[in-house]
Amino acid sequence: MARTCRGRAAKVRLWRWRRNPLRRRSDVVGAWLLLGAWCLAAAAGTAAGTATAHAVEQNLDSRRAERHAVPAVLTQDAPVATSQLAGAGDQVWAKVRWTAADGSIRTSLARVDPGEKTGARTQVWLDRNGKLVPAPVPSAEAEFQVVALGTTTAVGAGAAVLSVGWVVRGRLDRRRMEQWDREWAQFGQQWGRRTG
């Protein structure tokens, strides 16, 4: 709502809570609904983001706890990386050999540094059953995943709550406008002419 002040429109703050002869009950309900939606969005977003971050962190920690590194030896030359864009973290597939917990010799394909020669030492990661698995996520990347997924979930949950609030408020506004139309039609008849 705006009022003129020295020729310019001045915005009246919190007009829906102030006493005003034009204020309707639906104005007050709409204002409280919007305030409630913002508060609920903040609370739901915070709770959902925190829960997601905690769940992701627990999942990554349990994966890290289930895996252990064992020394291995390359049984073939590792291919040289062909990509010019390959960074230091890029690895290639090569055949490796390691000794399992029961003393048996195992071989399989594993990710190793490019260009390594036969007989070079490396390490592979195994799960509890002695099965070859990828290396656990490094702690810096794990932290990034926790923060990114927690933030995304928080924003999504907050946006969902606000969307519902805006839909309900939009219906309330439509209802208010219909009420205004009916009342203006009644006043128009009292004045002897139609308005609008």
pLDDT of 32 over the 80 cut:
yes
Q: pLDDT tier at 192 (50, 70, 90 boundaries)? A: low
* Cα 91 from Cα 73, distance rounded (Å): 16
CB-facing half-sphere around the CA of 150: CA atoms within 13 A: 17
Per-residue pLDDT, averaged over 101-122, amounts to 87
- Chain position carrying tokens 């002869």: 21
Residue type, 187: F
pLDDT of 180 over the 90 cut:
no
Q: 43-65 burial by CB neighbour count: b if 16+ within 10 A, else e?
A: ebbeebbeebbeebbeebeeeee
pLDDT of 74 over the 60 cut:
yes
Give the pLDDT of residue 88.
46
Strand partners, 62: none
Determine contact, residues 124/96, Cβ cutoff 8 Å.
yes
Per-residue pLDDT, averaged over 57-77, amounts to 88
Q: State the chain's mean pLDDT as an integer.
A: 83
pTM across the whole model:
0.64
